[in-house]
Each structure stands twice: as structure tokens, then as C-alpha cells.
Amino acid sequence: MDSPVLVPYRSFIQIDRSSATPVYLQVAHQLINAIQRGYLMDDHKLPGSRQMAKLLGLHRNTVVASYAELDAQGWIATHPSRGAFVRNGKTDKPRRLSAKGLITYPQQTGFHFKRWNVLDNPFDYSVATHSLDDGLPDPRLSHVDYLSRLLHTNMKRRGNRAKLGYNNLMGAAYYKENLANFLNLTRGLHISKRNILVTRSLELSIYIVVETLISPGDRVVVGELSYFATNMILQKAGAAIVTVPVDAEGIDVEAVRALCERRPFRMLYITPHHHYPTTVTFSAQRRVELLALSAQYGFIIVEDDYDYDFHYDDSPQLPMVSADTEGMVVYVGTFGKSMAPGFRSGFIVAPPELINEMGKLLGIMDRHGDALTELALGELIADGEIHRYLKKTTIEYKARRDVLVSLLNMHLTSFVDFSVPRGGLAIWTKWPNDLNLMRLRELCARRDVYLPRYLLYQSQKHCGIRMGFGSLQQTELTEVVELMAQVVKNMAIPQR
């Protein structure tokens, strides 16, 4: 047994007097670490409280309190006139004492684990003054004050307290009832709350759909350019992804038909309102043809309506799910996308039997949901405020779209080709094929303009950038485009 005075306690018991943790607990916790990690062995005798206090430069009462805590937790046994001895420690050869080993967390696991290479984070961070995105709304336009009042009111209501427990497995009924009414009114659906599964995000909705409906090896069809997050989710599930061309009318339905005739597939993923990333609208004729193919060949259509609320020049086409009579469409979307991220929710619309099955997975992943936010969003719909808010913000987003169109025509018309989208929060821009987009990104960063990697699409066939305008004010859009124009002209890229 080591002599108490030979153990360098002061080297691994380090006191932080600025910490909110009481000093006696700091001492106790660090002694517990030493016991657990095999530095202080079973039956090791600790110094007396006076001696330990002198070693650590503490008051004796502090050490007495530390020993009492260790005794209460079962890490030492105190014997009158004999002293305090370690209990429940290791009994083999003690480890070489290292203060670093006690105050640091392991830098590596001691075991092998699966690495999700297909889920490498596509997002990164920049401190640049101006940052583009793929079409996010502006949090500065969010209805934060109004929603904050709703949250405060719902917190104070006695009747809501029971709704904040663990019984919120499928989304708050009040919110689902109002969400069903909202979707029926704005998207021509004919659903009730039994057709809705509420999630925390669009991506979580897609994940639940894919995990429920896709098995490893299943073939899934997506556009030749498609939403990167969905592709990652499909790859993680082991799906075999097959692409079809996308033109000015959306995905090529004849290419889909040819796939059906050659070899059946399980699912087709589509963003028909504004195709991601190219923003084109899936034509009415192709919608009818695709629904007919789905019913004939039995493949599932996952319709992602990520930005249905944003339309400017005319009324939007109703979602495909509104015309689905065979139960082949699973509809996913986001309610409240125009508001701050913390006030949004994802949703899935499908027949009740599928909703119930997907609800089992959600119940394991997110048992209690976000009842307080759902109650507030339900009231936002019930009192009609969401319609007033969307009308107001749509005017601003249309103005920002028009400003970006004007700026592109003014400063980059020789280099960029694009079509003006009828809605959404982004413009798809096509650039000369010999332009190195990663080099453009690097040079823009030097001018304090950040272009995330996931905006850039470069291959032998494509050279495009999805430019979001929703999150930037008109003066900010002006600065971004002018700086990009300076960079492109200095790169000496041939004009279109």
C-alpha cells in the first residue's frame, strides 16, 4: 500500500475558485476520478484531514466535507483512530500516476465503430460579412414578438401543463387539427389530423419516410440534380440512387417511364413546386403522367414541398398529393419556414395506416416532441395571423428577388444565364463551363463574401450556383453581386 505522503495529490487535485462547483466537491470529484482510473487502489489510505488540508492549501473543514461526500458515495471507508481507506477501487497493479490522465477526456475511443462517410457534414462556418445560402428566409423578418407572446401565454395556461409531458407522441392534437385546416385551405388537400405526423424538421420527416419505406438495395429515382440532404439520407439507408434528367418542365417523365419498363424501382423523390436546386416548376401535364405511372407500376412518390408558401407572380400549382386517388404520394413539408428556425416544424401527410407506422419510429426518436411550440403554431393558424404574416413577407421577398434579378443583369449578364423563378427564395444561375467554382469560392472569400460548398454544382455537364436571396436585404444583395462581379472579371473567364 502506497504511503499517503508519497502520492502527489496536489498534482492532480486542482482547485478552481472561480468555478460554480464548491471546493469540497471539486476535491471529492477528483479523488473519485483517481480511484476509478486506477491511480488510487483499493484499501489505499488517504492522508488525514489536517494533513490533506495542508497539502492542498485548504481549510481542514473543506477536506472533512470532501471525505464525508466520498464516504456517502461509497468510495472510502472511515475507521475511527485508523483513518480513511479507498473502497471499490481496483485491486491489480496501480497505474502510473499522471495528472494529465485525470484532468483530460480521452481523445480516441478504445473500440471500433462505423463511420458514416456518406453523412459528412456539408455545412461549414464563415466569419465573412456576407454569406450566401440556398434559399433561407430572413430571421430579421420573423414574427418573433408575436410568437414569444403566444409561448408565454401557453406556458401560463393551467390546462396546457398536462400537454407538456410525455404523451405528445404524434404531435399536439390542437396543432395537427389547425395544420390540417391550413393545408386543406392553401394546398387543396382533404385531410384530417389522422393524416399528419408532426416532426421537428423537413429533413427528419424525410429520414422517417425513408427508414420506414426503404430497405437496403431498393432503387430510388431522383432528379439528376437533387437536394443533397435527401441524397445523403437515401445513401445512409442503403438505397441505390438512379437519376433522371431535369429540364425546364421538371424531371423527365419519359425517362421515368423508360426506367419503369426496364426495371421496377421502389420510390421517386421530387420537389415539384420549385425543383431543388434549379427552381423550375413541374408542369401540370407531367404531374398527371407521373401520378398515372405511379399507380400503374407501384412506385412511391415522395413529394417534398419545401417552399410552397413563397409564390409571387401567379397562383401556385396545387401539390401532386391533392390529386392522388391511389394513396401513392407521401407529402412532406415545413410549416413556418418563413419564421425563425426555432418556430418551425416539419410534417408528413399520408394515409393513417402509414402515419401510425412512422409514428412508432418517431416515438422512439423524439418521444415528447415540442408541445409548447406546436401549441403556439396552432394558435398562429387559428387566429389567421399566419396568413397576414405570409402576405406581408411575400411582398418583401418578391422585392428581393427582383433586386437580385436586376443586379445579375446589370453586373453579370455576360457570364450568367438564369430564368426568373415564379416563387421560392433562390435563383438558379448557370455559368461558363470552364469557370472553376471552387476557385471562385476561394477568391470571393478573400473579398468577404462566403459561398458555401453546397451551393456549387460543377461537373462535365453542369456549372451552376444556387443563389439564395431571402436572407439578404436589398443593400446586402447589391454588395454581394458587385463583389462577385469584380472577382469573376479578374478571373478572365470567357463571356457567355
Q: Are 349 and 196 in contact (CB under 8 A)?
A: yes
pLDDT score, position 100: 56
Q: Which of left, alpha, beta for 444 (phi over 0: left; psi -120 to 50: alpha)?
A: alpha
| Fold type of domain 145-383 | Aspartate Aminotransferase; domain 2 (3.40.640)
Q: Are 348 and 208 in contact (CB under 8 A)?
A: yes
Identify whether 277 is preceded by a cis peptide bond (ω within 30 of 0): yes
pLDDT score, position 374: 86
222: which 3 cell numbers? 431522383
pLDDT score, position 367: 77
When the candidates are 1.10.10.10, 3.40.190.10, 3.40.1190.20, 1.20.1090.10, the CATH number that belongs to 4-103 is 1.10.10.10
The alpha-helical segments, DSSP class H, found in 414-458 are 437-446
The alpha-helical segments, DSSP class H, found in 298-351 are none
Size (the chain), residues: 496
Farthest CA pair distance, the chain: 93
- For residue 181, the SS3 value is helix
The alpha-helical segments, DSSP class H, found in 366-473 are 371-382, 385-411, 437-446
- Quote the Cα angle for 481-483-489, to 5°: 100
pLDDT score, position 170: 45
295 phi and psi angles, rounded to 5 deg = -65, -35
- Sequence spans of domains, the chain: 4-103, 130-136+388-490, 145-383
DSSP letter, residue 5: G
**Residue that the C-alpha cell 382533404 belongs to:** 190
What is the dotted CATH code of the domain comprising 130-136+388-490?
3.90.1150.10
pLDDT score, position 492: 67
Please choose, from the candidates 407, 398, 395, 405, the residue with its C-alpha nearest in 3D space to the C-alpha of residue 478: 407
Low-confidence residues in the chain, pLDDT < 50 = 169-170
